[in-house]
Structure 1
């Protein structure tokens, strides 16, 4: 090659490298590389299903040191002949766990004692479950507490004498967040309230205990009434899930705003917000009003283990005017979504995750709404607290109570094998831990595993034959091999796991640095035994 051609070639290569670098941004905990322009911008929202770039451009080697690795998509799956099944929670037989009973919960237009997001959290400081909820209707926030998450009390606090009310403000939506990362103990709890001050605006208050709240610390520009907030700890960003209304049949939908500081994040211009997501063509319609286009009424999210869980409140009608005329509730139901970059949502299952009954006398006749924090980890189960509304006796939009539903821990989806067996081979992964754990239901069968090198060859002694069979139904159990104390020999190297299942279902796998199975993933709104936002205790939390 001539010198001139060599110079041209090297120049072109340098330009390509610089171009690629200029398009690459933040690298996430799971190896996903965000584009330099973040959050992404769209000119409009449509009824088409949201593209999911992190399922199209999967890292060559996936780091798995953060959290249990859930099998809700093919991000970690290179090859399998197993069948994926999505699961829904089951309702607590004692629902509702909180309903309007006190005089201040029955003031105004009608009875109301329920979260409109608000928040349900486990507070490790005093080992209590805590539920913030709207009462009375559109006029304030109350706090109930519980020792077990099922039986709730209303303590009389010293804020509003003789009641459990903690703040009085004209309000719509609200989000309470237990902020484990703020070093100021006076700001341990944060409350973001959509309040009417010359139009709907988002107000921030802080509290050391969730009872005594500061004066407003910040007030946002104008917002839509059902605006909510969540924290994405994977990127250390507060996310403002902004309610907007769009034409073209889209209706209620979401804009996105993020900021590292909760207070500073409430100051924005139009350029700081981007169009985010809406209901799409796969979302369910009301069986009695099939011509009503579904709308995205709200989107609450929480960090769970190695990803973000999103609860999509899908509005199916009828319009408010029809509800008022017929004295019925609008139909909102919760569907599930998953995100590994905090912005793009994969929604592979369109069955309702938590739904309404439209049966007279039921607490959840209609208008189901999620709670801030989304779910709690309680032993081997996840607790999902939601509000539902009975068919109203007074004003059509009241009659709200709280219920809870249970899901197996990590139980959003499983990969299942029948009696003839099947396998799952992961994509190349890298980890620093030493102990492999699984969440598996193998009551009548078994699971075994082997470790493969970069070329797909089995690494001795981590073979299928040397693997001790895992049997039984366990949400946390170790996978071990004869001839090896742990996985130290392959830590830090790109390897694949191949799981062999017979009459079994696999929900998650992870590699822990400790023999107790601590995943160091996020535990949503917490739970008994956990001391902070992540699982640092493993097996010990299941014994609480």
Structure 2
């Protein structure tokens, strides 16, 4: 929406509504080991030209020291099947739906419009295998199922240990990459004690050499001041002993909005809240899998995610929307998404709706499970919103008026996306 002027009109962010009914959980025999869990931040969805919807999701199994990517498919986006593909050994058998092997950090599958058919699908992730620990690998595939290494991508310092987004941008005629950038002494990107996450953007002509780096989302002065004076529970900022800030941006889903003339880029940035320290007695099974043990740890809390909406015309300079209120937030206490939500690339259109698939989990960044739940829970759900309804121009009961610039369009009529209620009108 372009507005030259308005009277009695307010721009309002419109969060989607989660259905609360996961379309995918870990329920197959090879997925239900005692410590197996759905990866919270490494899942993705693609809608094919025939209308079918495909999900790639990560499974973490610390008991067997495995992390792998699996595949599911659906004709309606609600009921998914997990085909047995016999491609990857999981727990001593290939009778499963895994498509990428152990210790691949996750997936962010996208379709490369410039690639030959045998490399049409791409995905990229950090790798955790001992022999190549920490490398950033891009894989390619002809069908989204059979993958091979495409490139060991080198993008410089700053880390990339979360979901990374890549797509071809015809507006600039280059590929773009959005990934994490750590401002931290250990990454050689900070001179002092600073330690916080931001989102960076890079460009490439060939997916191998990347340049033109910029930081596109970071905790700014407003974010950093959130708890600086009102809740002095922990020293924050670059001069504090640990250099941590009350919140930072763990990662971001960025996509170019389809059918928008020129360029409209949507960012759903994942705000990570960690504004006070607390000593808690926690049960650990990761270091000694033979028996549980308890230990006292200093944890950064509340250690939860919610999502911020931002918009851009060039994919570089983003405007934050909604007064920094959450675009999506964790579910109620006791639910499968009570501690973490992570939107999956990319939202898909179904009729006059936009479906945003997301991963929900009831444990926080420290691994602590919601005490209101009976067990560890996670799943992939849909959040549904009106098509093009991220932000609307709202008027109150007495009405409002807005004036747009001159609009050129093809065809014989102009359609408005309007909800007036039962008794309203537009004229």
- In the superposition, the TM-score normalised over structure 2's length comes to 0.75
Alignment of 1:232-271 (within 5 A): 232-247=169-184, 249=194, 251-262=196-207, 264=208, 267-268=209-210
Asked if the contact 1:98–1:113 (Cα under 8 Å) also holds between the matched residues in 2, the reply is no
Cα distance in 1 between the residues matched to 2:137 and 2:279: 32
Structure 2 residues without counterparts, runs of 5 or longer: 89-93, 185-192, 235-244, 283-296, 370-375
Secondary structure of the residue aligned to 1:104 is helix
In structure 1, the partner of 2:403 is: 425
Structure 1 residue 280 corresponds to structure 2 residue 280: no
Asked if the contact 1:279–1:314 (Cα under 8 Å) also holds between the matched residues in 2, the reply is no
Asked if the contact 1:176–1:189 (Cα under 8 Å) also holds between the matched residues in 2, the reply is yes
Alignment of 1:198-209 (within 5 A): 198-209=132-143
Cα distance in 1 between the residues matched to 2:310 and 2:344: 15
Cα distance in 1 between the residues matched to 2:137 and 2:317: 27
Select the structure that is richer in helix: 1
In structure 2, the partner of 1:89 is: 16
In structure 1, the partner of 2:25 is: 99
C-alpha deviation, 1:379, in angstroms: 1.2
In structure 2, the partner of 1:312 is: 269
Write out per-residue CA displacement over residues 259-291 of structure 1, whole angstroms, 9 at most, x where no aligned residue. 1333x2xx34xx653333312244496999975
Q: Would the alpha carbon gap of residues 415 and 101 (structure 1) be closer, same or farther in structure 2, given more than 3 Å must change? A: same
Asked if the contact 1:329–1:366 (Cα under 8 Å) also holds between the matched residues in 2, the reply is no
> What is the aligned counterpart of 2:327 among 329, 343, 353?
353
Q: Would the alpha carbon gap of residues 343 and 228 (structure 1) be closer, same or farther in structure 2, given more than 3 Å must change? A: same
In structure 2, the partner of 1:298 is: 251
Secondary structure of the residue aligned to 1:273 is strand
Structure 1 residue 157 corresponds to structure 2 residue 85: yes
Cα distance in 2 between the residues matched to 1:367 and 1:275: 24
Q: Would the alpha carbon gap of residues 330 and 105 (structure 1) be closer, same or farther in structure 2, given more than 3 Å must change? A: farther
Cα distance in 1 between the residues matched to 2:278 and 2:177: 29
Q: Would the alpha carbon gap of residues 401 and 318 (structure 1) be closer, same or farther in structure 2, given more than 3 Å must change? A: farther
> What is the aligned counterpart of 1:135 among 54, 59, 78?
59
Write out per-residue CA displacement over residues 160-204 of structure 1, whole angstroms, 9 at most, x where no aligned residue. 33211111141335311123x235222221111211354422211
C-alpha deviation, 1:425, in angstroms: 0.9
Cα distance in 1 between the residues matched to 2:232 and 2:140: 42
- In the superposition, the TM-score normalised over structure 1's length comes to 0.60
C-alpha deviation, 1:295, in angstroms: 0.5
Cα distance in 1 between the residues matched to 2:71 and 2:278: 32
